[in-house]
Amino acid sequence: MATATFRFYAGLNDFLPRNRRQQDFEAAFAADASVKHMVEALGVPHTEVALVLVGGQPVGFSRRLQDGQRVAVYPHFMAFGLESLPRLGEAPPLPLRFIADSHLGGLARLLRMAGFDTLYRNDYADREVVELAARDGRVVLTRDRDLLKRGAVHHGCYLRATIPAAQLHEVVARYRLAGQFRPFSLCTVCNLPLRPVAREAVLERLPASVKIKPLHFTTCDACGRIYWEGSHWRRMRALLDAAETGG
């Protein structure tokens, strides 16, 4: 069986056993194994890889490995003078749209709050996530690395954080979303556009403490929820501002 020397850089080491992190290591592979097969066999989803060098030359995931080769694997946004080299895969289509797997409801609400079209259901099967992402050109957001290894997933992001606010920071940094926020333009439940509504039109449905305040109101035509700029709005606005500015 042939062997190659591998080195994974920066955050890709999170996917490796401790004895393989931040160093060269040898790994055996079967005849005719591809770069993609070996990268994922070693634990790293292909969606997390931006650049692979074999023998110092950039290659695609389909490149077949040969005995004795050296393979260097880089994540998204690594610099080190490699900016001019061709990156793997195409950028997701614009405007960016997301689909969050069944464990990321908090992140989905925050992304919608920031104005990003984000599909989410707490009973999504992996198959549905993959199919919807492929159909709409959506970015898959997940903490399930096996989901990202599926060949039909072209755009995806493995989230390291477990707290929704920190996950939002990850997504903003990964996809450079600063400057693209449209806060409070989508319903956080339905993922549909909100529209302005006169206070008089919804007065009977407002809490007594809100009825007397000169606030701006919006509503979702699908679920009928009403939104206004109260104390919760101010807290969420501060959270979104911090995520957009990196604060």
pLDDT at 83: 60
Q: What does the pLDDT read at residue 85?
A: 66
User: Is domain 2-75 given the CATH code 3.90.1300.10 in the classification?
Assistant: no
Give the pLDDT of residue 31. 87
Domain extents in the chain: 2-75, 98-192+234-245
Kindly state the tokens that stand for 43.
Answer: 């634990």
Pairing of strands 118-120, 2-8: unpaired
Burial group, residue 151, by CB count within 10 angstroms (0-12, 13-18, 19+)? exposed
Amino acid 79: pLDDT: 47
The Cα–Cα gap between 71 and 209 comes to 63
The pTM of this model reads 0.92
CA distance 159 to 171: 8
pLDDT tens digits, the chain, 247 residues: what are they? 899 999 999 999 999 999 999 999 999 999 889 999 999 999 999 999 999 999 999 999 999 999 999 999 999 875 455 566 677 878 899 999 999 999 999 999 999 999 999 999 999 999 999 999 999 999 999 999 999 999 999 999 999 999 999 999 999 999 999 999 999 999 999 999 999 999 888 888 888 888 778 789 999 999 999 999 988 899 999 999 999 998 7
CA distance 190 to 118: 10
